[in-house]
Structure 1
C-alpha cells in the first residue's frame, strides 16, 4: 500500500499540540494507523517540540535557528508532505492497523466492528452512509460507501472537510485517492469526487458544516439525508 496524500502541516501541528476536536482527531488517528511515514513524522515533531520545551524550562534562549532545526526535523521523512493525529479522548498512542480487515483502530471501536458487521443507511443511487456518534459538537462524522464508477454530486463546503479512504479509491480532478489517502478540502474547492470503476469506495468523512451542493434537487433532499 502506497499512500500519496497526507495530513497538512498545519493540521499536524494542531494535532500534536492537542488542539483538534474529537471528529478531526478521529480522522487523523485513523490515517496514522495506516501510514508508517506519518507516524515517523509525528515522532519527529514531538521530539523536536520536546527539545524546545527543555530549552524553555532551562531558561535558555530559543533562537531562529532552533525553529529551523525543528522544521527540518519535522520534514525528515522523504516524500511526505504531511502527517497524522489522534483522537484526544481515545488514542493517546496510535498504533499500526491490523493486518486483517478494512477498518483500523481507533475507528473500528467507534463502529463496533469491521465493514462486514455494519448496518448501512441508503442515501440513494446506490450510496450508503453510517453516521458516527462522538462527543464533539463541532463536527459531523460519517462512513460513506460510494458505488464503483459513481460520483458524489458536485459540491463545495462551508468549512473544512477531511475524507480518508479505507477501501477502493476515488478520483478528484487529476488526483487519485486510494486506501490510506486523506483529502483536505474547504470552501475554495468545488469538486465532484468519483469512485473508480473497479470497486465501491468506502471513506471516513468529517465535516464542520453541511455540504453546499450545486444541484437544487440535492439541496432539496439534503435535510432528510443529513449531509
Structure 2
C-alpha cells in the first residue's frame, strides 16, 4: 500500500467519534480508518477523551413529568426506520475492498452501472442524509468539472487520481467543500476505484452531465 498523506479532518473525525456523523460519510471514514494507522490512533485518542468527559460529568435532576413522557413515547406509533449502513458489522476484507465496504455491499460484489467513457459506479447507500458509492475511473479518464453542495469525501481504494489540490493514492482521503471546483483525473495505469460520499447532488459546470445527473443520481 502506498504511503497515506491525506487524512480525515479533525471536525469530521470528532463527529465520527461522537457517533453524530451521517451514515454516508461514516462509511468512508470507517474505511479510511481501517487502512490508516495514524487516523486509527487519532480516533482512539478522541474516544478516550470522550470517555473521560463522561466519567467526570455531573448529573442533572430529572423533571417530574419524565416518566409520563417516556411512557407516552412508548405508546406512540413508531416511525418507519431509515435504511442504514452499519460500518461496524464484521465482514472481512475482499480484494481491494476493506471490511466497511464489504459491509455496505452486504458481502457481495459491486453492481456496476456504466456512466460513459468507461466510468462506472455502484451506489451503496442513498437516503436523505446523502449517498455513498463506488466509482471506477479508467486510467487517464477525467470526471467532469464540478463543484459541491456541502461536503464530499473521496477515498482511493485502487490506483490514484489528481486534481487541482494534488495527487491522491491508495488510502488517501480528499475532503471537498463548496469552495472547491475541480475535475479529478485518474492517473494513467490501473483504473482508479474510489469510495465517495456526498450530502447533496454535485454541481456540474457543463450541460451534458447536468442532463444525465438525475438518471445517474450523482
Is TM > 0.5 for Structure 1 vs Structure 2? yes
Task: Label 1:174 to 1:208 Cα distance change in 2 as closer, same or farther (>3 A).
Answer: closer
Aligned residues: 194
The answer to whether structure 1 residue 55 and structure 2 residue 56 are counterparts is yes
Note the alpha carbon deviations across 1:17-39, whole angstroms, 9 max, x for none. 11112111111111111111111
1:90 to 86, 99, 107: 86
How far apart, in 2, do the equivalents of 1:89 and 1:102 lie?
Answer: 19
The answer to whether structure 1 residue 214 and structure 2 residue 205 are counterparts is yes
- Per-residue deviation, 1:89: 6.2
Task: Label 1:94 to 1:169 Cα distance change in 2 as closer, same or farther (>3 A).
Answer: farther
Note the alpha carbon deviations across 1:183-207, whole angstroms, 9 max, x for none. 1111110001110002110001111
Tell me if structure 2 keeps the 8 A contact 1:16–1:42: yes
- Tell me the TM-score normalized by structure 2: 0.81
Counterpart residue number, 1:171: 162
- Per-residue deviation, 1:223: 1.6
How far apart, in 1, do the equivalents of 2:132 and 2:157 lie?
Answer: 14
How far apart, in 2, do the equivalents of 1:104 and 1:126 lie?
Answer: 24
- Per-residue deviation, 1:175: 1.1
1:111 to 81, 105, 112: 105
How far apart, in 2, do the equivalents of 1:90 and 1:112 lie?
Answer: 10
How far apart, in 1, do the equivalents of 2:117 and 2:25 lie?
Answer: 28
Tell me if structure 1 keeps the 8 A contact 2:85–2:125: no
Tell me if structure 2 keeps the 8 A contact 1:29–1:94: no
- Per-residue deviation, 1:46: 1.2
- State the structure with more CA Rg: 2
How far apart, in 2, do the equivalents of 1:190 and 1:178 lie?
Answer: 20
- Per-residue deviation, 1:119: 2.9
How far apart, in 2, do the equivalents of 1:223 and 1:92 lie?
Answer: 31
- Structure 2 unmatched runs, 5+: 60-83
How far apart, in 2, do the equivalents of 1:188 and 1:90 lie?
Answer: 30
Task: Label 1:94 to 1:35 Cα distance change in 2 as closer, same or farther (>3 A).
Answer: farther
How far apart, in 1, do the equivalents of 2:165 and 2:51 lie?
Answer: 39
Equivalent runs, 1:37-186 vs 2, <5 Å: 37-57=38-58, 90-92=86-88, 98=93, 101-113=95-107, 117-133=109-125, 136-186=127-177
**Two-structure CA RMSD over aligned residues (Å):** 2.3
Tell me if structure 1 keeps the 8 A contact 2:86–2:103: no
- Tell me the TM-score normalized by structure 1: 0.78
Note the alpha carbon deviations across 1:78-113, whole angstroms, 9 max, x for none. xxxxxxxxxx86245989x74x61001111122244
- List structure 1 runs of 4+ shifted beyond 4 angstroms: 92-95
How far apart, in 2, do the equivalents of 1:21 and 1:184 lie?
Answer: 15
